[in-house]
Structures are given as C-alpha cells and as structure tokens.
Structure 1
Amino acid sequence: MKMDDIARLAGVSKAAVSLAFSGKPGIGAETRERIIQIAKEHGYQPKTRSTASDQQTDSITFLVFANSGIVLEQYYQQPFFRELIHYIEERCRANGYSLIFTSVDMANFQHGIRTIAQEKRTDGVILLGTNLDKAHLEQVSQQLDAPLVVLDTCFEMLPIPFIQINNIMGGYQAGAHLCGFGHREVGYIASDIRIRNFEDRRIGFMQALRDNGVALAEDSVFAVAPTILSSQEALKRQLSAFLDKGHSLPTAFFCECDYIAISAIKSLTELGYRVPEDISVVGFDNIQEGLIVSPELTTVHVEKERMAHLAVDMIIEAIETDTISFSKILVDTHFVERLSTRSID
C-alpha cells in the first residue's frame, strides 16, 4: 500500500493525503478523518520526518535573478512583482510554510546557483523566470537539489514545471479591442529589452490585426525602457521624429506592458495630445498604478493571484509527496476596458 493507493481510495490528491498525515491546514476535517481511517484500515504507516527536521520551519524559497533590464535589484518594489509576491506569501502562510527571499545578481549567475545549491536551506524553490532564457533555466534545474517551479515564463522543451501567462491571448484581446473600436491606424510601443513574454504578446496582437484586416506599419513601431512610469524623453524624440517626416500619429497604441502604457500617456500629454480623445492607449498586466493614472488605463488583466496559488500548490505537492509533476500551466487573461481608449467617431 502506497500513498497513491490511499489517495485513490479516498478520492483525493496525494498532496491532500500528505496534509492529512502531517496535520497541516489545507483540507477539511471530514476529508482528513476519512484519509486517516482508510490508512488505518489498510495498515498504511506514513513516513515521518526526523526529529531535527521536525524542529525546523517548512520553507519555500522565492528565487530571483536580478538585472538592470526587466527584473530590477529592487524587484519587490515593481508593481507587477509586488502583487505577485503578496499572493505567494499569503498562499505559503495559509499552508504553514514560510517564504524565503533570495536574490542573485545576473552578473554572478553561476556563483549564485552554486551557493544556493550548497546551502540546502529550503524545501522547494519558486523561481521567477521572467528574464531568464532556456540556457539559464537548464542550469538552475540541473544544480538545485530541491523541487522547482518556474513562474512567468515557459520553454516547452524543458522538463521543468512552468506557470505562465497566456500572453498570446492577451495580445490578441488588445488588438481585437482596438479594431472593434474602429481603429485602422494602429501603433505599437515595445520594450527595448526583449523577453519571451513580450514576443508572445506581439504575436497575439498581430494576429488580431490580421484577422480584422488591419496592417501595422513598420515605422509605427517604437521602443522604450519597460520599467519607467514617468514620461520618457526617448519616446518623445521618436514620436517627434515620426511627425517630422510628415506622418500623423496613429489613432491608438498598444503597449507591451502597463509601465510603457503609463509612460506613453504621460509622454503624449507632454507633446500636446489628449488620451483618449486624440489617441487611445492599451497596456498589459493590470497593475494597480493603472487605476491612478489619468485617464484610468485600459489593459489586459493578468491573473497574478491565480498564478501565485498554482505555483505554491504545485511546489507544496512536490515537497509533500516527494514527486514532481512536470506540468506546464497556461493562465488565461481577460480584457479590462477603462478610460484610456475610445471608439473612432
């Protein structure tokens, strides 16, 4: 008789069986009693941790490799990551785990991995993969001797559990919204630092334009820093140069993230344009700052709470059952229409 068999007989997951035996929260009292009773009836004896281990607090590490591009050294102050961390902390606490924060400078990538692997001070690792490529993720997974779940990116060919935004869907929703509002002259404001998320958002957006018979002119694509919430001189220079060539600005812009969208609204305002009366602006991520900017930002909502819960639940299941599920979970987005877009008269 194994834990799998108890789970099957009780009609629950292996993680629920483990929670029942450990006495941790996360399942109801009736479910816990049913699992324990079935175990007794079949003579199953759960494995127990050593005394030294029992005296330790179960912990999960939130691992970040910071750089000067997307994931900054003070990543916990960046709105998107701040919200994500909040939900991860809540979920860990609800399940009796403490959350340890570990940040490594990308310039010391190799040394950072070795140090974390040698310390062995955590039961599992949730890795923020936003700014990491396939090679980075392979190295991390090969050297860490603990269950691992990667959050906010995905490489389908790697045998690693991933929780990822459906960025293609979100980009498509943004494009469909603008086309549905009658916009035919559409512009695109990209990040000047490229990651998988942004590439997928562009794929979805471009597909929406094609499906609606709208073309994106090459010279209507601009690029700016993705982590600045104020107006950007770089964007104002690009837009001014575009105007100097005799062009008219597009009637709408899709921005690859809310940071860029908020920055674009401020930059356009300083150039004398009104949002949305003259130009509509759509962002992506639905950070709280989008409700503060004027006008309130139309954006693509990312289910940050759902992603956080999935990541924590997956890593706890791996810890409690001593098995790893190599699932890749894609979390859908939904569109939030606010005041920064309007239809063409």
Structure 2
Amino acid sequence: MTVSNALNGRKGVSEKKAHAIRQYAVKVGYQPDYRASSLTRRRTRMIGVCLRATPTVPWWAQLVYEVQKLLYASDFRMTLGIAPEGPKQENSFLDHFMALRCEAVLVGPLGYAYQYKALAHRLSGIPYAIGFETFSDLPIDSVSIDEFAGMQLAVRHLYEQGHRDIGHFGVPDEVFGKSELRTRHNGYLSQMKQLDLSICEQWIISEASGKMALESLLQSGEPLPTAWCTHDDNAATRLIRVLDEMGYSVPGDMSVMGFDNLNIASLIHPQLTTIGFDVHRHARAIVDQLLENVERIRNEQKRTEPVASILTPPLLIQRSSVAQIKEA
C-alpha cells in the first residue's frame, strides 16, 4: 500500500520516501498494470471503436482522430478495431471490447440494415453503444452527418444561382427505390419537388452506368441540365473529366456541385463548390453523447429519454465550379 500511495501521489507516505520510491520505479522501468488498476477503481475508462472499413477517406480518418483526442482530454482511452471482412471479424472485436471491459462502444458506419441486425446480440453485452448511423433495426443512440439536408442545400444553392434544370450524377444503385431513407439522392428529389422543379429521369445517372450514360446523354441531342449535383467529390471529378472530353466547360456550359469536401475538391480545376461538415463539431457531438451516458450508467441512473438520433448540419463550401445564370 505504501508503494501504491507513493506512485499515485496519495497521502500516508512521507515526501522523502515517496520520492525515493518514484526514482526507483523509473530506474527499473516500472509500468503500472492498467487492467489491474481498473479492477481497483471498478472502471476501465476504455472506449471501443469498431469500423467496418479502413478510414481511407481523410474526413473519416480525421473524425476518428478527433474522437480519440476528445476522449483523451476527458481521461478516457480508445481502442480501435477495423473489420472489413464482415460480421464474424466485427463480432471478434466486440468480444474483445467486452473482455477489456470497455465502458462503451462506437460502431459503424455500416450502411445496411442486415449488418446492424447482426450486431444486436453482441451489443447487448456492452454497457452502452452508439452508432455513426441510424437504423431502426438497432435501437441505439446515433450521431450522423445529415446527408439528406446536405443534398437539399446543394440543390437550393444551384437554384439560387438561377439554375432550374438540375441533374444528379453518380447515384449508388442500392439507394434507388428506398424513399424512406434519408439518403443524398432522396434529399435531391425532396428539394427538387419543394422548389417545383422538373425531375428528368435521363438526368439521374447511377454510379454503375456513369460515363457511358453521360456520354450517351451528351450525344443524344436531347435537352441538357445547366447544373449537376453529384453523389460525392469523386463523382464530381469524373463528371468534369467526361464533360471536358466531350467539349463542355465547367462552369461555363454546366455547373457542378460536389459533396463531402474531400481534399480533391480544392485540387482539381475548377475547384469544386461542395457540401461539407464540421468534423470537430461532429466528433464533439459523438463524445458528449457517449460520455453523458457512460456517467449515467455508472451512477446507476435510469434512462428517461428516447433513443437519440443526432444530426450534424451541412456546410456550403463555395469555390468556382458553379456559375450564376439568368433565370429562364
């Protein structure tokens, strides 16, 4: 007990003896056993984070770093598991988090309901879980970026610049027909309807058909949109490349809106006007919600609020790929 008190700065040991003990600990390379000390404190202050894929997109990598930084500032530690091989690998990480006695787990992004269903049993053994996305199949708190509102903002910006004929390029095939989800494509459809703008099926080009469908449209002689929303900045980059190859200038002939504010948005020509999100604000919302519930559970307080679905609002980043035109 004397050694423990000295190393932890507690009372009961003279300063001279405590100093000698600390010096000796440094000399022999003593490292405290975090797991053993957590048993004494009856808590680990460990948070598990399980991602389905490697965060290769800079925004996601920065988000994970911001979450870790905020947890560290609150004297919590983060352990990360990346499970690209699917539910089996994911479950192994969740089992590991339980073995470490993590006080909470942050999961996702997954993208499909069946993946969340597979998590339900494992997460029941963890004191608190929070997700990067919202799905009714897994009724846990979530903090996600508001992609639906982001695409609405993109359409509104084009409308405010005088555009009335607006297409959508690079739409993932799996979102078609899922009107109940707050997807980017549904945000596009919703805002077009609210502004009483015509939705032309030929101007909605999927990710799979991509270049071929766009080239066919440009060569068809049919009316063309004056502006495009795109699913993300990578799709916007591909769109601009094809338009350039076909002799169309951006934003001279057509305007292009990106989404995500990836690094490439400021590197291509013209630089992309795009939709982004405040990564620090998003991380702060995640950590605040997580720590609030960790403390609630530790204090054995019953939850009275319903499951929380917190949305981080979008930001418009204006650059040079959108031009103002006169209203027809």
TM-score, normalization by structure 1:
0.71
Q: Name the aligned partner's letter for residue 286 of structure 1.
A: N
Change (3 A) 1:59 1:214: same
Cα RMSD after superposing both structures? 2.8
Take 1:180 and 1:339, find their aligned partners in 2: how far apart are those partners?
Answer: 15
Q: Does the CA contact (< 8 Å) of 2:113 and 2:137 recur in 1?
A: no
Q: Does the CA contact (< 8 Å) of 2:94 and 2:122 recur in 1?
A: no
Shift of 1:118: 5.1
1:175-214 alignment to 2 at 5 Å?
175-194=155-174, 200-214=183-197
Q: Does the CA contact (< 8 Å) of 2:71 and 2:78 recur in 1?
A: yes
Q: Does the CA contact (< 8 Å) of 2:81 and 2:93 recur in 1?
A: no
Take 2:218 and 2:317, find their aligned partners in 1: how far apart are those partners?
Answer: 30
Shift of 1:253: 0.5
Take 2:182 and 2:236, find their aligned partners in 1: how far apart are those partners?
Answer: 17
Q: Does the CA contact (< 8 Å) of 1:185 and 1:252 recur in 2?
A: yes
Deviations 1:147-184 (A, max 9, x none): 21101x21256421011222222221111111222222
Q: Secondary structure at the match of 2:52?
A: strand
Deviations 1:225-262 (A, max 9, x none): 6xxxxxxxx63322211133222432111012222223
| Corresponding position: 1:103 with 2:90 | no
**Residue of structure 1 in register with 2:289 after alignment:** 314
Deviations 1:191-240 (A, max 9, x none): 33536898522222223222333212101111226xxxxxxxx6332221
Which protein has the larger Cα radius of gyration, Structure 1 or Structure 2?
2
Take 2:237 and 2:44, find their aligned partners in 1: how far apart are those partners?
Answer: 42
Change (3 A) 1:138 1:90: same
Size of the aligned set, in residue pairs, is: 278
Take 2:206 and 2:135, find their aligned partners in 1: how far apart are those partners?
Answer: 25
Shift of 1:54: 5.3
Q: Does the CA contact (< 8 Å) of 2:164 and 2:197 recur in 1?
A: yes
| Corresponding position: 1:143 with 2:122 | yes
Take 1:245 and 1:343, find their aligned partners in 2: how far apart are those partners?
Answer: 26
Change (3 A) 1:271 1:92: farther
1:1-345 alignment to 2 at 5 Å?
51-53=37-39, 58-66=45-53, 75-106=54-85, 108-114=86-92, 116-117=94-95, 120=98, 121=100, 122-129=102-109, 131-144=110-123, 145-146=125-126, 147-151=128-132, 153-156=133-136, 158-194=138-174, 200-224=183-207, 235-322=210-297, 326-345=307-326
Q: Secondary structure at the match of 1:289?
A: helix
**Residue of structure 2 in register with 1:18 after alignment:** none
Take 1:176 and 1:52, find their aligned partners in 2: how far apart are those partners?
Answer: 52
Take 2:226 and 2:140, find their aligned partners in 1: how far apart are those partners?
Answer: 42
Take 1:321 and 1:291, find their aligned partners in 2: how far apart are those partners?
Answer: 43
Change (3 A) 1:282 1:149: same
Q: Does the CA contact (< 8 Å) of 1:149 and 1:161 recur in 2?
A: yes
Shift of 1:115: 5.1
Take 1:101 and 1:269, find their aligned partners in 2: how far apart are those partners?
Answer: 42
Take 2:244 and 2:181, find their aligned partners in 1: how far apart are those partners?
Answer: 25
Shift of 1:57: 6.2
Q: Does the CA contact (< 8 Å) of 1:79 and 1:287 recur in 2?
A: yes
Shift of 1:119: 5.2
Shift of 1:185: 2.1
Q: Name the aligned partner's letter for residue 204 of structure 2.
A: V
Q: Does the CA contact (< 8 Å) of 1:235 and 1:267 recur in 2?
A: no
Take 2:231 and 2:44, find their aligned partners in 1: how far apart are those partners?
Answer: 40
Deviations 1:28-59 (A, max 9, x none): xxxxxxxxxxxxxxxxxxxxx97443589632
Shift of 1:110: 3.5
Q: Secondary structure at the match of 1:77?
A: coil
Identity of aligned residues (%): 23
Q: Name the aligned partner's letter for residue 330 of structure 1.
A: L
**Residue of structure 1 in register with 2:30 after alignment:** none
Shift of 1:134: 2.6
Shift of 1:337: 2.1
Q: Secondary structure at the match of 2:83?
A: strand
Q: Name the aligned partner's letter for residue 254 of structure 1.
A: C
Take 1:224 and 1:198, find their aligned partners in 2: how far apart are those partners?
Answer: 18
Q: Does the CA contact (< 8 Å) of 2:167 and 2:227 recur in 1?
A: yes
Take 2:174 and 2:40, find their aligned partners in 1: how far apart are those partners?
Answer: 45
Q: Does the CA contact (< 8 Å) of 1:169 and 1:204 recur in 2?
A: yes
**Residue of structure 2 in register with 1:46 after alignment:** none
Take 2:239 and 2:197, find their aligned partners in 1: how far apart are those partners?
Answer: 22
Change (3 A) 1:339 1:111: closer
Q: What runs of 5+ residues in structure 2 fail to find an aligned partner? A: 1-34
Q: What runs of 5+ residues in structure 1 fail to find an aligned partner? A: 1-48, 67-74, 226-233
